[in-house]
């Protein structure tokens, strides 16, 4: 496995011991430095305070109740350390704290991947790199589940159906070229749709417009 362009310092939280050790091995073979690998949300926050990593990778369900401890810890970490990127890696879509996590994304990158849908190690590492560089990467199934609860009277109501399709693919971390291939249109057409999306949505003028548009979409 090639050495990454920018090795990262990572704190990992996963309560399943075998999966935790497997992830440590993957990350270290990729050239990253796993400064701590823990199985509890309290330990995650303690090591973040001590080591201030570049990225936190955390599961959602962790001891003691195995509900949403990991996600709540991620939100707390972003509140106290807005410059630390966060990657949620879970088997579940936990909607209760996703909005809070996404609200913190302009400060640093954020991702939400589903374990069972990560098909390749390289796909996971590429997503991690994008989040570490300030991007937003959200699994398509997470997007679809959030969409089912989407209201039609918010800022997204101004978008056309095609613009919503483009924005949904942007939320999955797709480039303009990839969106063009998936929708079977030209890249110029995609750029036109993206420009229209930027013009219609209330975006953060100080931030990355693509990230701001994705966040507006995911928050609804």
Domain parsing of the chain, residue ranges: 9-139, 150-219
Q: What is the pTM of this model?
A: 0.70
Share of residues in the chain with pLDDT > 90 (%):
43
CATH superfamily of 9-139: Response regulator (3.40.50.2300)
Instruction: List, for residues 89-130, the tens digit of each pLDDT value.
Output: 988 777 666 767 766 555 688 888 998 878 789 989 999 999
Share of residues in the chain with pLDDT > 70 (%):
81
Instruction: List, for residues 169-216, the tens digit of each pLDDT value.
Output: 887 778 899 999 999 999 999 999 999 888 888 776 666 677 777 767
Q: Give me the chain's average pLDDT, please.
A: 84
Question: Rounded distance, CA 123 to CA 56, Å?
Answer: 18
CB 39 within 8 A of CB 63: yes
DSSP track, 152-219: SSSGGGGS-HHHHHHHHHHHTT--HHHHHHHHTS-HHHHHHHHHHHHHHS---TTS-HHHHHHHHHHH
Task: Tell me if domain 9-139 and domain 150-219 are identical in fold.
Answer: no
Question: Which CATH fold would you assign to the domain 150-219?
Answer: Arc Repressor Mutant, subunit A (1.10.10)
Structure tokens at 43: 């330990």
- Maximum Cα–Cα distance across the chain: 51
Task: Find where tokens 């973040």 sit.
Answer: 48
């Amino acid at each position: 496995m090639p050495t990454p362009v920018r090795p990262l310092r990572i704190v990992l939280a996963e309560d399943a011991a075998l999966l935790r050790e497997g992830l440590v091995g993957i990350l270290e073979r990729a050239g990253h430095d796993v400064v701590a690998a823990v199985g509890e949300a309290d330990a995650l926050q303690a090591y973040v305070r001590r080591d201030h990593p570049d990225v936190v990778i955390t599961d959602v369900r962790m001891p003691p109740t195995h509900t949403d401890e990991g996600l709540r810890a991620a939100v707390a970490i972003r509140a106290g350390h807005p410059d630390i990127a966060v990657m949620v890696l879970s088997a579940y879509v936990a909607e209760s704290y996703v909005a809070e996590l996404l609200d913190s994304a302009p400060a640093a990158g954020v991702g939400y991947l589903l374990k069972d849908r990560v098909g390749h190690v390289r796909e996971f590492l590429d997503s991690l790199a994008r989040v570490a560089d300030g991007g937003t990467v959200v699994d398509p199934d997470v997007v679809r589940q959030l969409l089912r609860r989407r209201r039609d009277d918010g800022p997204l109501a101004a978008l056309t159906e095609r613009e919503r399709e483009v924005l949904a693919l942007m939320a999955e971390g797709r480039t303009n070229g990839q969106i063009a291939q998936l929708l079977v249109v030209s890249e110029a057409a995609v750029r036109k749709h993206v420009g229209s999306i930027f013009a219609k949505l209330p975006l953060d003028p100080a931030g990355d417009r693509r990230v701001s548009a994705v966040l507006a979409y995911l928050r609804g």
